Structure 1
């Protein structure tokens, strides 16, 4: 298994800009929630909470978070959920520093971050990492006259390493015999900020095309030149504004951009939620972590039919034990809703994500049931 080295430049955002506010109203339906093994949230049946829950992190989760908070309004009154989509690195940094109650991250904590998070958390310092959002990362492009595009792993790596520099390159033409490719320079677009999406994409390149992609894997883009955009929206905007541009982004935010099919074994696979879920099911849990840590080591180099390996498993990271009972109750209740079938469907409707499996839901509920106040 190829495990990328995670080196992250942490940037602490002091203002929760772009906040998603939720004033929830209504009550949970106890009968329907019983099928989930409890309430739709994490609390006891019919328990109503109040307070403010603060999170920050991956911008790729923004659409899903909007879906979660909107649907959560049918579960809890008088609860406000604030989520600042500052990026995975900023979210992890704020959580470790104690500035938020939970983090959203497109990469699990590295060893240094995990140690710091354990020191931040109360009680025995246990941390939960729940893979609550599964979504493919699309290779998006804007090439006039080209609607469909097949890209083998080595070609994807060559383009973003700036070794393949023109759209009529023979390596691209070989994979697209029926496409009229223009004599046009390729302009790769990457994230300008430290990003879990970048790290997931780089892990794929390193695993699937190691002879081409020889850079150290991290959340910071390693190749100079090209263009860069802030956040997922910045990449999408930059790709859309050019001709001959190519980038990587959550497909739910791709808009009218072309989306490439990626070579996996003998076929080319589109970044569908089903194909993303399939590769996660064929992956394994990272060893040597805490009881409630469900970080996954994704099989980026898979050749299994119907698997799409450029996938991000975005985590919610928090403490098993909090200092305050109110915080523990709010975190448990909201996370309980997020992993419920209703919550996962809300994310799928809003962001095109792949609902987690029953196995992942059961694991998550084990961690959520353990959340307490020390």
Structure 2
């Protein structure tokens, strides 16, 4: 049984023993604690990935950092959405996927066709809050509980001065502007995480199961492709509301979510605190290396922001040749290293993985092997 141990952040604990010998700073420290030069890298080749558009900013930073240390290697990533990434991996069209939702049991089973008898597995790449963002002139912050958020996105609360909103925002002059919901048009891991929060925290209002595709019965709402698409559409529409990776919402207004008796604004620290209460996903056929996490959406922990996602990289347990295995391991370990996590945080504002998660991710990546 896999056990995840949370609580200590990468900013507090040293994980020098996990740094790459081949990737990172000019004086990286390898697993034995000795210093090596980044120029000593021996990995080469091209690694192709497809997946979450929410990872775009972090991925640009990872690719730049990794390529600088590994001039013989090339990482390519197409931010077509989480669902597209998982589909590409399962079809053999990509060597890894970026996804804001982990592989379902049936997807894990299907992955055995291209990834060998143990299939594919999920490794956390970063933690990020999902912002509930709105466009109202002169208003930058609102407090909302889960039931009100669910009512808005179901279309049951249709104007901004509705009593359910006004009652939680005393002193805020709310207009009678109609609410325009903007949701993802594509199969999205962000949608999976957002609807999972609504279903867990407001089950009496959000009666639809969590899914990567927006509920078909909620027709008549606006939609757009990808993270940038929904943010652009909402930013251009007075009275609009949407959900997106917090790194992408810019100057739009943001919702503080009620948790227990307080309203919690999204921050990387608040998102990380919510993840600390997570438990491992279990299921028949999941590889031992799998690190998928079941997030505690209905937490009442003070200071935790439960509208959060763990963004994963999904790798095969087996690749056809050792060169690919070496490249996958090197890139994967760079992503979860201190340097990789810092690069992503600077670019996307996400929360770094805890030291314990970093350690488990490295162990998982090192289990990848070449086909015999």
Shift of 1:126: 3.9
Shift of 1:45: 9.7
Match of residue 71 from structure 2: 77
Shift of 1:128: 2.2
Structure 1 pair 94–227 and aligned structure 2 pair: CA distance change class (3 A): same
Deviations along 1:158-194, whole A, 9 cap, x unmatched?
Answer: 0001000010101100110020001111111100111
Q: How many angstroms apart in 2 are the aligned matches of 1:257 and 1:27?
A: 37
Is 1:350 paired with 2:331? no
Match of residue 213 from structure 2: 220
Among 265, 268, 272, which residue is 1:273 paired with?
268
Structure 1 pair 250–37 and aligned structure 2 pair: CA distance change class (3 A): farther
Pairwise mapping of residues 203-352 of structure 1 onto structure 2 (< 5 A)?
203-222=196-215, 223-288=218-283, 289-352=286-349
165-174 or 69-78, which deviates more: 69-78
Q: How many angstroms apart in 1 are the aligned matches of 2:299 and 2:41?
A: 45
Match of residue 10 from structure 2: none
Q: Check the 8 A contact 1:130/1:315 in 2, yes or no.
A: yes
Shift of 1:145: 2.5
Q: Check the 8 A contact 1:320/1:367 in 2, yes or no.
A: no
Q: How many angstroms apart in 2 are the aligned matches of 1:36 and 1:85?
A: 36
Is 1:113 paired with 2:107? yes
The runs of 5 or more residues in structure 1 that have no matched partner are 1-25
Q: How many angstroms apart in 2 are the aligned matches of 1:323 and 1:39?
A: 31
Question: Scaled by the length of structure 1, what TM-score is found?
Answer: 0.89
Q: Check the 8 A contact 1:40/1:337 in 2, yes or no.
A: no
Query: What secondary structure is seen at the aligned counterpart in 2 of 1:219?
Result: coil
Structure 1 pair 194–274 and aligned structure 2 pair: CA distance change class (3 A): same
Q: Check the 8 A contact 1:30/1:46 in 2, yes or no.
A: no
Shift of 1:78: 1.7
Structure 1 pair 27–252 and aligned structure 2 pair: CA distance change class (3 A): closer
Q: Check the 8 A contact 1:292/1:367 in 2, yes or no.
A: yes
Query: What secondary structure is seen at the aligned counterpart in 1 of 2:118?
Result: coil
Deviations along 1:220-275, whole A, 9 cap, x unmatched?
Answer: 11121221111000100111101111000111111111111111111111111111
Q: How many angstroms apart in 2 are the aligned matches of 1:90 and 1:37?
A: 40
The runs of 5 or more residues in structure 2 that have no matched partner are 1-21
Is 1:88 paired with 2:86? no
Deviations along 1:283-319, whole A, 9 cap, x unmatched?
Answer: 1111233210000000000110111000111111011
Stretches (4+) displaced over 2 A: 26-41, 44-47, 124-128
Q: How many angstroms apart in 2 are the aligned matches of 1:250 and 1:226?
A: 20
Shift of 1:37: 6.8
Shift of 1:282: 1.1
Pairwise mapping of residues 351-370 of structure 1 onto structure 2 (< 5 A)?
351-370=348-367
Question: Scaled by the length of structure 2, what TM-score is found?
Answer: 0.89
Structure 1 pair 28–220 and aligned structure 2 pair: CA distance change class (3 A): closer
- How many pairs does the alignment contain? 346
Shift of 1:40: 9.8
Among 49, 60, 64, which residue is 1:55 paired with?
49
Is 1:185 paired with 2:178? yes
